[in-house]
Amino acid sequence: MSTVLVLNSGSSSLKYQLVDPAPGDALAAGIVERIGEASGRASHEVRGARTVREGAVADHGAALRLVLELFEETGPSLGEAGVVAVGHRVVHGGTSFSAPVVVDDDVVAAVRDLIPLAPLHNPANVTGIEVARELLDVPHVAVFDTAFFADLPAPAATYAIDRGTAAEHGIRRYGFHGTSHEYVSRAVAEHPAVTAKLAAEGRGPETLRQVVLHLGNGASASAVLGGRAVETSMGLTPLEGLVMGTRSGDVDAGIVFHLIRSGLSPDEVDTLLNKRSGLLGLGGVNDMRELTRLIESGDDDARLALDVYLHRLRKYVGAYAAVLGGIDVLAFTAGVGENAAHVRAGVVEGLGFLGLGVVPDLNAARARESRVISPTEPEAPARPLVMVVPTNEELAIARQSLAVLAAR
């Protein structure tokens, strides 16, 4: 067995999963939270059995040592699990990385150099890589959230600001959640309903036009033509685009100057737009389940929050259909996209002019597999498919880690 330990280091958390990439199984998964705070918490899950540890965790090094202890105590033993690589999720690869790389000192230095572009994410990614390299003597691979979008067409990647200033400061649209958009768009392209549709229309896979909506606590959209990302909603940072759990998504940049001239500091505006906006800012909660409960209890603020969220999504789907010159598949993924049927119905409502629609029973059904929820043939042969496709970023990172090692 060849397994990969996938690590996702946040500023105060360390998420991990031990993956057997060939069948695509998660052998164990867990998270250490509140690292560096007075009371930390670790949760380690193996085949449905959860072990929880409470207590202060000083730093990411201590967090990883705790994870290794949990593996030894409750299994599976990492020594016996055939760990051949550690795969690290790295948020920002800038223009330096358009594909996964085996980590060496130069890679660590380059990820550190990108900290000004991703001050909220890359510092923790660097720390996670450094402590893991000390404790785990196997090859380490960095998989970048921006990589799938490194090849965005120039008109989609370029902000219309002074070119010299943009070049000096690395300002362009990078895109994020790329591992998920790539995994889901591939799963869509390989789905039997999609290959059958293309065959019936006499078209090759290079013509497949997809819009992928990754709707989790963070949220992003991508337009994918024949496997290549041609547009995405996140930009220089993950702040641009859709309404998210706590992020505003698109706003007039003039709001930032107005608030700063009104007395807020740049850091306060940053916190406002990244942590106190979106569903939380409008509706008081960032979790879609809680928001839905508030709406059902008659809360008008929560209702408006969902309406703004859906309005933005419909605008993006319409815009991306224009970018692609039509749409063959609309795919929903991540926590909200995979689970919230009312959100999926709300997005396609009003987009019937693009041929988009869902069958209520199919939309309401719950399943772990990729599935089509739109009317299918023979009633609707030429219409786009609406699909629910579960994402699996850990599996994608594990497989990419093995692939990059095999290609060495």
Residues marked active site are found at: 145
Q: What is the DSSP string of 321-347?
A: HHHHTS-SEEEEEHHHHHH-HHHHHHH
- Of residues 50 and 289, the one with the C-beta less far from ligand AMP: 289
Query: How far is residue 318's CA from residue 297's CA, in Å, rounded to a whole number?
Result: 31
* Secondary-structure percent of the chain, ordered helix, strand, coil, rounded to 5: 45, 20, 40
Report the residue number, 182 or 328, with the smaller CB distance to ligand AMP. Answer: 182
Residue closer to ligand AMP by CB (options 228, 342) is 342
Distance CA 131, CA 14 (A): 11
Cβ 249 to ligand AMP shortest distance, Å: 15
Rounded distance between C-alpha atoms, residue 234 and residue 242, angstroms: 8
Q: Is 335 annotated as a binding residue?
A: yes
Beta bridge partners of 3: 83
Residue nearest to ligand AMP (CB): 335
The verdict on whether residue 107 carries a ligand-binding annotation is no
Select 131 or 388, whichever has its Cβ closest to ligand AMP: 388
Please state the closest distance from residue 15 (CB atom) to ligand AMP, in A. Answer: 11
Residue pair 122/112 in contact by the 8 Å Cβ criterion: yes
Q: Are 140 and 86 in contact (CB under 8 A)?
A: yes
The answer for residues whose C-beta is within 8 angstroms of residue 103's C-beta and 6 or more apart is 88, 129, 133, 139, 140, 141, 142
To the question of whether residue 338 is assigned a binding role by annotation, the answer is: yes
Residues 6+ apart with CB under 8 A from 125: 9, 88, 89, 90, 91, 111, 142
Asked if omega into 153 is within 30° of 0 (cis), the reply is: no
Q: Based on CB atoms, which residue is closest to ligand AMP, 240 or 338? A: 338
Nearest to 183 by CA among 147, 151, 157: 147
Distance CA 183, CA 191 (A): 12
- 287 assigned binding-site residue: yes
By beta-carbon proximity to ligand AMP, the closer residue of 207 and 217 is 217
Does the annotation list 226 as a binding residue? no
Cα distances (angstroms) measured from residue 91 to each of 176, 194, 267, 285, 300:
7, 30, 20, 25, 36
Q: Which residues bind ligand AMP (CB under 6 A)?
A: 216-217, 245, 287-289, 334-336, 339-340
70 annotated as belonging to a binding site for a ligand? no
Annotated binding residue 283: no
CB of 139 vs ligand AMP, minimal distance in Å = 28
Annotated binding-site residue numbers for ATP: 15, 214-218, 287-289, 335-339
Annotated binding-site residue numbers: 8, 15, 89, 214-218, 287-289, 335-339, 393
Annotated binding-site residue numbers for Mg(2+): 8, 393
